[in-house]
Chains A and B, each alone.
Chain A
Amino acid sequence: VLTNHVTELKRTAKDSLNRTRVSLSSLRALLKSMNPLLDKVFYDKDRVTQITSLVLQNIWPYVKGRLVLPGQIMTPLHKEISVKLIESWLTLPNSIKTWKKDVLDYFYALNIGAAEGSGASPSASAQQDFFACSVKTLHNWMPIVAHIMADKSTFADLLSK
């Protein structure tokens, strides 16, 4: 029974490793090729928005770094590449509206909102989520946040918060 259990654990571990490797390779492929393809193949900009929206929806768990269910795997690289992918969309002006709100909500709700100490604020562990990442990931966040804050009203909103 023990041997079977160990074999099963090994198989599960190997499967997890393979899935992690595949998912990282796929994310890298998207990071490398998606943006130039969206830029040069699609003249219908609504379609670009639709695709970026779909991608954002699916990589968002990586960006938030909150996979807590059994069997789920995430490495710091997942988050780093996902944020880098969003950063790459800065060159696609039409797509910005698809991710701006999500990023801003994530930035406000988990940090500044919590700092006010209101009853509706997220938990203490959630407060650190936005900055709980590698330095490289933070560097990837910088141009994204800077781009959002370039809008005067958004920056004024930030200051007021």
Chain B
Amino acid sequence: VTSTVTYLASQPKTQPLLVEIVPPLIGCMCTMAHSYLSFDVSPGSSALTAWSSCYDSLVSKDLLMILQSLNYVLAMLLIPESTAVAAASNNSTAPVQSSRLRSFFKDIFQTSDLPPEVTPPPPPPPGSSDIVRDALLRELPAVMSLLIRVWGPPSLKSAKSPSAQSRRKSSMSSPSSERGIKLPLDAQQDETHNKYMLQDQILQIVEPIFITYPGHVLKSLLKYWKFTPARDMEEGVMSSHNTSEAALTKKIIVELLTTLLATPASVDALFKAATQLLHQLHLITHQQHVTATNTNTSTAPVPAKNVPATSQVSGRVIDIEDKDIVLVDLLAALTLNRATQLTTLELLDLFVPFLKQVVYTRSPYAFIHSLHMLHLYVQSCASSLNSPKTDKKKLKALGDVTQKMIEGCLYFACQSFGALVGDLNNEIVLGNVLSPQALAISVEHSTDTLTPTAASFVVVEPDGKYRSRARFFH
């Protein structure tokens, strides 16, 4: 695969063929790798045993070879030269580590039948067009599905084994001379080491793509993230009792992302991508709402100011439509998992802008989880928030968004006595909807935008009494 792609990319005449040949090749590699991993992960099955069998020497070797080929192709055709150079300089110790890992593998396998040394991919060919890049990015969900499966369940690690993130941190901070490979003592350790080897390879694939195209990686992961409303956030993702396939996948995604977020640049990329995605989703919802309203009133559509046309927006994010709660759910689980690593800088510069987008969501659980995340952040950063050095403007923004989150939760808390009214796309309505007078006003002016599933709603009169005003059914 690597020879074919290198040859095609090196010849100007064959470069146009890349778009036709490379995506199917990647698909084939994913199918091949999946053939090692096609076991049942449903509750009650012996999924963990099956998973651990994937980390025996022979299967690991094959999987590693496939992952290395994937890494080569994706790095060559997806990653711009500057990013590749930066990543290489950040991981200047990688070749040393790679050679040590290879010697380690030789020790384990006791065989010369090892994956061939993969040389660093050449810089992307000048002719590698946006078409090839877009075609590869369309294959990203399939690649991520494979990587999630190969990564394996977090429960496999023993208490003595370091987490992927701590291994990664130590490998980034300690000098290369101190990073020796410990030889395994038994079969279980063999599997653990093989698993770590594969996970390191996965990180080598994902990290540069994540830094360059965080939105695409995030969207790909969201495809495999199943939202399940839980009473408390802790009962949702992180519950160790839940062994269904969806729950295992969520745990793996959280561990993978947590490991990726070891550097501030990755955290920055993640939050900016999440904020952008949420913004795009809300633009689509807003456009749909405007279109529906215009259709109902039989008036000519009036494009909203500063809002791109629906086709432009939906062309970019149509595949993640109605996924705002899934995105918030993913970030909430991630925040819970890295509760000890949250910083004031992250809170004020990255999380607050994200919350400003959450305000426009229609999902109650997005508000509930966001409030919980905010609580975790503030709890972690309480001491530095008091510091006089903290930017007052940012603190004010934090206060504003905190108030909106509380109001949002209150709004949904009062649903059961019928206060589910108003248009949540409108920040002004949401911001004021909870005071009795403002609620009455918003109802008076927005009866045509009531949710069609509301059985009834109540208007708060100026004297503070609640009066039933209407019933709406589908």
Contacts and interface: CB of A to CB of B under 8 A. Distances in A.
Interface of A: 8, 11-12, 15-16, 19-30, 32-34, 36-37, 40-44, 47, 51, 54-55, 57-59, 61-62, 67, 69-74, 78
B415 A19 contact: yes
Contact of B399 (A11, A16, A47): A47
B378 A40 contact: yes
Q: Kindly state the interface size class of chain B when it binds its partner.
A: 35 or more
A70 B456 CA distance: 8
Contacts of A30: 371, 406, 409-410, 413
B397 to A, nearest CB: 11
Interface string B406-421: 1101111111111110
Nearest to B386: A40
A110 to B, nearest CB: 17
Given A12-B473, A37-B406, A74 B417 contact: yes
B468 A69 contact: yes
A17 to B, nearest CB: 10
Interface of B: 229, 231-232, 364-365, 367-368, 371-372, 374-375, 378-379, 382, 385, 395, 398-399, 402-403, 406-407, 409-420, 434-436, 453-458, 464, 466-468, 471, 473-474
Q: Which of A19, A27, A69 has the most CB of B within 10 A?
A: A19
Contacts, number: 138
B417 A67 contact: yes
Contacts of B473: 8, 11-12
Q: Which of B372, B378, B411, B417 has the most CB of A within 10 A?
A: B417
A77 to B, nearest CB: 10
B410 A47 contact: no
A44 B374 CA distance: 19
Given A59-B413, A70-B456, A71-B418, A36 B403 contact: no
A69 B458 CA distance: 9
A42 B406 CA distance: 13
B409 A26 contact: yes
Contacts of A8: 473
A23 B410 CA distance: 8
A40 B416 contact: no
Contact of B455 (A15, A36, A61): A15
A12 to B, nearest CB: 5
B413 A58 contact: yes
10 contacts: A15-B453, A15-B454, A25-B364, A26-B364, A32-B372, A36-B379, A41-B395, A47-B403, A54-B407, A69-B456
A19 B382 CA distance: 34
A7 B202 CA distance: 50
Contacts of A72: 416-418, 456, 458
Q: Which 10 A-B pairs have the closest CB atoms?
A: A71-B456, A26-B413, A33-B375, A23-B416, A26-B412, A73-B416, A69-B468, A29-B368, A71-B455, A22-B364
B191 to A, nearest CB: 40
Q: Which of A12, A23, A47 has the most CB of B within 10 A?
A: A23
A33 B20 CA distance: 53
Given A25-B368, A37-B375, A40-B385, A61 B417 contact: yes
Given A23-B413, A27-B413, A29-B409, A36 B375 contact: yes
A127 B419 CA distance: 27
Given A8-B473, A51-B406, A54-B407, A73 B413 contact: no
Contacts of A55: 406, 410
Given A29-B368, A67-B417, A70-B468, A41 B399 contact: yes
Nearest to B414: A58
Contacts of A59: 410, 413-414
Contact of A22 (B399, B403, B412): B412
A28 B399 contact: no
